[in-house]
Amino acid sequence: MALRRLFVAVALTDEARHAIAARVGGITFPGRPTRPPNWHVTLRFIGETDEPTVDRVLQTLDESDLGHRFRIRWGKLGAFPRATKATVLWVGLAEGADELTALASRVESAITHAGLGEEDRPFRPHLTLSRIRPPQNVAELLDAASSVQVAMPVDRVVLMESHLDGGRARYETLESFELA
């Protein structure tokens, strides 16, 4: 039986994606930039999953109270684990981080209720712009970058499947779950 690589995310609106791309378009990202069509906020990575588990996840998310709609506003660029030894370059939130964290917690509860183990890393809301290997110092880039300041609604979460095509990820939306 083939396994499917899944995650639950908030997809960017087309307007937000284009606005963020325009604001960061002049920046040369180190490492391997994430293509704008792939931009999303991962709420919960699920990983390699068999069909019965996919069905349980779909049913549990469909039956779960994921909360109410809200707005977020993208802010400054940052880096994991830190600017001087960055492996991920990202955009953080200027507004809505608490609401997004609460949504991630509700998604986590649904996923564990579906029988999967708990996530071992704390949720840190961000939009990945580039993956950097080996780590680099991006402190100057972060200091020079302007805050993005793009707002968008969060009105749904999506169950996504990741397809690795020649080392590049392609994401497929399997199902969308509306917030109240």
CA–CA distance, 89 with 79 (Å, rounded to integer): 5
Which residue of the set 18, 68, 113, 126 is catalytic? 126
68 in catalytic set: no
CA 81 to chain CA centroid, Å, is 17
* Number of Cα atoms under 13 Å in the Cβ half of residue 38: 16
> Dihedral of CA 35/42/97/122: which sign?
negative
18 in catalytic set: no
- Report yes or no: 88 and 64 within 8 Å, Cβ to Cβ: no
Residues 6+ apart with CB under 8 A from 16: 74, 150, 151, 152
Which residue of the set 40, 68, 113, 163 is catalytic? 40
The torsion of the CA quartet 154, 160, 164, 165, rounded to 10 degrees, works out to -80
Distances in Å between the alpha carbon of 10 and those of 39, 56, 70? 9, 20, 12
List active site positions. 40, 126
